[in-house]
Amino acid sequence: MNLDRDALRASLSSALPEGSFICRLDEVPAVGGHVVRLSSGGIEVSLVVLRQHETVRCFLNRCPHLGSELARQDRHLYLEPGVSIECNVHYAVFRWADGVCVRGDCQGESLAGVPVTVAADGIRVGVWPRDANDAGVLKRSQ
């Protein structure tokens, strides 16, 4: 069990309860990513939303290597859509599908996933999985 990861997930799910609005779907390129900053209960949360048409994934915009943002702005998102996202700082590469680091200084660690659902008005936080290992970042139009 990874206590840091569990604590991070607990604070994330507390800051971003199910149903929280993240952004409009059209703010995210049909194939690409978007940096979103939210403020909830005095806590600032930076997220990266990844999209391939109707499939949307979301991760905390925090590299597990040193805790820096992967990218501060959309134009700094280094993506290979459907394949990977790269950290701006030391260029660790994370798998698009599940956020696991496949190359770099934090290989084997992973981005913290945020479950999402696509609602009529945009992308919202989905149901947080009970199991901390079930990083489910699922996503699909409803």
C-beta closer to ligand FES: residue 76 or 90: 90
Q: For residue 63, state whether it binds ligand FES (rule: CB under 6 A).
A: yes
Angle at CA 33, nearest 5°, toward 62 and 21? 75
Distance CA(5)–CA(59), nearest Å, equals: 13
Where is 85: in which H helix or E strand?
Answer: strand 84-86
Q: For residue 65, state whether it binds ligand FES (rule: CB under 6 A).
A: yes
Phi, psi of 43 (to 5 degrees): -105, 130
- What six digits make up the tokens of 12? 């994330």
C-beta closer to ligand FES: residue 58 or 92: 92
**Stretch of residues binding ligand FES (CB under 6 A), selected from 23-31, 50-58, 85-93, 118-126:** 85-93
Query: Which position among 12, 45, 50, 87 is part of the footprint of ligand FES (CB under 6 A)?
Result: 87
Q: For residue 90, state whether it binds ligand FES (rule: CB under 6 A).
A: yes
| Cα distances (angstroms) measured from residue 62 to each of 99, 121, 141 | 11, 26, 26
At closest approach, how far in Å is the CB of 118 from ligand FES? Answer: 28
Applying CB under 6 A, which residues contact ligand FES?
63, 65-66, 68, 87, 89-90, 92, 104-105
